[in-house]
A and B are shown apart, each in its own frame.
Chain A
């Protein structure tokens, strides 16, 4: 006959301990938690100090200019009513240029300044946005709503605007290193001076080399970062791709900040040839 062992009262384990035994947390686990805690606290203190220093350094520059850009700009009305409508009001459901780039084309952080930019360069960018050669969803959407004649007129309009530089360094880059890269380059890394192609004062060279002087430093940095990551495909002959891939992130910040400090001295309204 089958016997049920569990019910056999004669087989009680007298050593059975009904309470949870004392099992301390292993020493190493507490130690690791302590180590992580120290790391966390030090990181927090470090970041806090850096942030305070950054704010202290950049606060004066971050203040809004006393005069609005539209009051400093010349040539804001030098276009046909249709083009000015595109600039300020947009068309159908395509938003206006000014809604992002500002009423004077002054730009804002990662949105580039367009005022005074080389017109052939601006035209090429619009075409490249439309064709997907330069990848930016917002600009692709806008550019697909424009005809080539409008692109040309918009490019000419922004190129003829005269607006002094309104920006300054905001990325905490090393300005001396930025100056060196801009004026002399670092040929040991095969990085030529920016200004060797973009003009002695960074004011661009028709038709292919854009103005760098006075550009929003965040925009310049963002574009360099795209080239660095092989993600901005429309530089002629891949010139910028290869140059920027030889630059470190610190160099990119330094040069973006330095270029934003260059003034724009160009004569008013030169004739586009």
Chain B
């Protein structure tokens, strides 16, 4: 028998098992590290396999970048050689405004919160100056945060600014006064007109916009500010073609009659698009090009940029081919107002639609 020379005996076997166990632990540890460091996914991805790397919530990226800005601000004050803070951006590259839990305490924070409330539910929080069923947030999505939806952070730093609409340099308050005059149709409000300059409504909305723009530079138009223009199409725009686009894409929320939908308690859920509860003839949204831009990039809600340019133009034309509250600037005849205020714009103001001149306006009393 020659086996004795290779048999380790019981103690030897135990020693050997000990070595194997140690090697096993090392194997386990190494694999665990590789697994939790996404090593496997990265290896698969490196050879071109389609793997899902763990996702980080979009909001979290934006938040982390804002925290980095705050840290850089503090460091820069301490040490002039530290790198200057950069503009905080989200995972998509657009400016990242602060999140609601960053609203400071105290009177400033209270003003910001009041401004936000007015912004998201104007008829409820600014009832005296609200002449229809519209809220700021209807056209500035995500409480004024969303890129390509005329976000407040994109607008605030642009003012004071010269505007062709009233041919003067406008302060931010004067700009919001325009919103109340036209988009909120303040002529039909209990006060009969927009809030006077200096009113608390403006101060609160200003506080909200100022705070949302924290970290945004002045002197630069930010990507995502305003509504991107939609290129004009060969066919132009046509409300007849737009009727079908509307039925297929918009009616589910805004209703076949364009009057939106209300909740059981009467509050507006989906805003009316025409008629006495909509923006008036002087509003930017009554221009077909502006409406086409908003629609193309933001509608149907959550499906921005799915309509073709042609459909966006046509449906904007359809929505703006109905009567809405009159332009408050009209003092004389409709034709005079058209010549003075609507001459070179893309709208149906003072023009013939379905055999009738429109633009005279419709009030709540007339609609009853």
Interface residues of A (CB under 8 A from B): 17, 19, 21-22, 24, 27-28, 30-35, 37-39, 180, 184-192, 196-197, 199-200, 203, 205-206, 208, 236-237, 239, 242-243, 248, 251, 266-267, 270
B27-40 to A contact mask, C-beta < 8 Å, 1/0: 11001000000000
In the assembled complex, the Cα of A21 lies from the Cα of B5 at a distance in Å of: 11
In the assembled complex, the Cα of A25 lies from the Cα of B303 at a distance in Å of: 62
In the assembled complex, the Cα of A38 lies from the Cα of B27 at a distance in Å of: 10
Stretch with Cβ within 8 A of A (4 or more), from B12-20, B180-188, B319-327, B339-347: B12-20
Known contacts: A203-B263, A205-B269, A270-B264. The answer to whether A22 contacts B3 by CB under 8 A is yes
Q: Count how many chain B residues have C-beta atoms less than 8 Å from C-beta atoms of the other chain.
A: 49
- The listed residue (A34, A184, A203, A239) touching B24 by CB distance below 8 A is A34
In the assembled complex, the Cα of A248 lies from the Cα of B52 at a distance in Å of: 11
Q: Which of chain A's residues have a CB closer than 8 A to the CB of B249?
A: 237
A188 to B90, Cβ gap below 8 A? yes
Give B131-148 interface residues, CB cut-off 8 Å to A. Answer: 141-143, 145-146
Closest residue to B265 on the A side, CB-wise? A267
In the assembled complex, the Cα of A31 lies from the Cα of B24 at a distance in Å of: 4
A31 to B27, Cβ gap below 8 A? yes
Known contacts: A21-B3, A184-B100, A188-B59. The answer to whether A35 contacts B27 by CB under 8 A is yes
Q: Which of chain A's residues have a CB closer than 8 A to the CB of B72?
A: none
Q: Which of chain B's residues have a CB closer than 8 A to the CB of A192?
A: 141-142, 301-302
Q: Which of chain B's residues have a CB closer than 8 A to the CB of A190?
A: 302, 304
Q: Which of B23, B146, B269, B303 has the most CB of A within 10 A?
A: B269
Known contacts: A192-B301, A237-B300. The answer to whether A184 contacts B143 by CB under 8 A is yes
Closest residue to B12 on the A side, CB-wise? A24
A205 to B261, Cβ gap below 8 A? yes
* CB of A29, distance to nearest CB on chain B (Å): 8
B302 to A205, Cβ gap below 8 A? no
- The listed residue (A21, A188, A239, A243) touching B61 by CB distance below 8 A is A188
Q: Which of chain B's residues have a CB closer than 8 A to the CB of A28?
A: 20, 23
Q: Which of chain B's residues have a CB closer than 8 A to the CB of A32?
A: 24, 27
B20 to A34, Cβ gap below 8 A? yes
Q: Which of chain A's residues have a CB closer than 8 A to the CB of B26?
A: 31
A31 to B3, Cβ gap below 8 A? no
| B203 contacts the other chain (CB 8 A) | no
A35 to B31, Cβ gap below 8 A? yes
B252 to A27, Cβ gap below 8 A? no
A236 to B252, Cβ gap below 8 A? yes
| B192 contacts the other chain (CB 8 A) | no
A35 to B263, Cβ gap below 8 A? no
| B53 contacts the other chain (CB 8 A) | no
Give B253-268 interface residues, CB cut-off 8 Å to A. Answer: 253, 261, 263-265, 267
* CB of A162, distance to nearest CB on chain B (Å): 12
In the assembled complex, the Cα of A196 lies from the Cα of B268 at a distance in Å of: 11
Q: Which of chain A's residues have a CB closer than 8 A to the CB of B59?
A: 180, 186, 188
* CB of B65, distance to nearest CB on chain A (Å): 12
